[in-house]
Amino acid sequence: MAHHKSAKKRIRQSAKRRLKNRYYAKTMRNAVRNLRATKVKEEAEKMLPEVISMTDKLVKTNIIHKNKAGNLKSKLTKFVTKLGDVPAEKVKKSTSKSFYQRQYSQIEKSEIGSLTFKNK
């Protein structure tokens, strides 16, 4: 534990900065995830400049590395240019189940109560 007043203040400051940095980094990651999830080119083209500006701001404040931001921007622009010119009405949303959802649906509800888990 810190004994000096300045060290205690430094601990408080670094905790605040850490929370703020984690928030901005997570917000940027969510924006990237949302951009990659879009299937319509027009929407992706609108979102791309916003995501690029977010990454540039994080680089400026040393939250992420400049090379990571460059790689992200490059991959995202490639992704957006490869998207086909499909209108929004014709894009079908994915309704496929994940692996675990398929496995769970195969088990009957009566069997779920009788499942036992062994500790190793």
Q: Is 65 a member of any domain?
A: yes
> Which pLDDT does position 84 carry in this prediction?
80
Host H or E run for residue 10:
helix 5-37
The closest of 57, 45, 50, 46 to 20, measured between CA atoms, is: 57
* Eight-class DSSP state of 1: -
Q: Is 108 a member of any domain?
A: no
H, E, C per residue of 47-113:
HHHHHHHHHHHHHHCCCCCHHHHHHHHHHHHHHHHHCCCCCHHHCCCCCCCCHHHHHHHHCCHHHHC
Determine contact, residues 47/35, Cβ cutoff 8 Å. Answer: yes
Q: What is the pLDDT of residues 48-106, one digit of tens each?
A: 999 999 999 999 999 999 999 999 999 999 999 999 865 556 655 555 566 556 555 55
> Which pLDDT does position 2 carry in this prediction?
86
Q: Is 66 a member of any domain?
A: yes
More confidently predicted of 88 and 1: 1
Q: Is 95 a member of any domain?
A: no
Structure pTM? 0.65
Give the number of domains in the chain: 1
> Which pLDDT does position 42 carry in this prediction?
93
More confidently predicted of 13 and 105: 13
Helices 66-82 + 5-37 axis angle, to 10: 20
Domain of residue 53, residue span: 5-86
More confidently predicted of 103 and 10: 10
- Look at residue 113 and tell me whether its pLDDT is greater than 80: no
> Which pLDDT does position 97 carry in this prediction?
60
- Look at residue 110 and tell me whether its pLDDT is greater than 70: no
Q: Is 11 a member of any domain?
A: yes
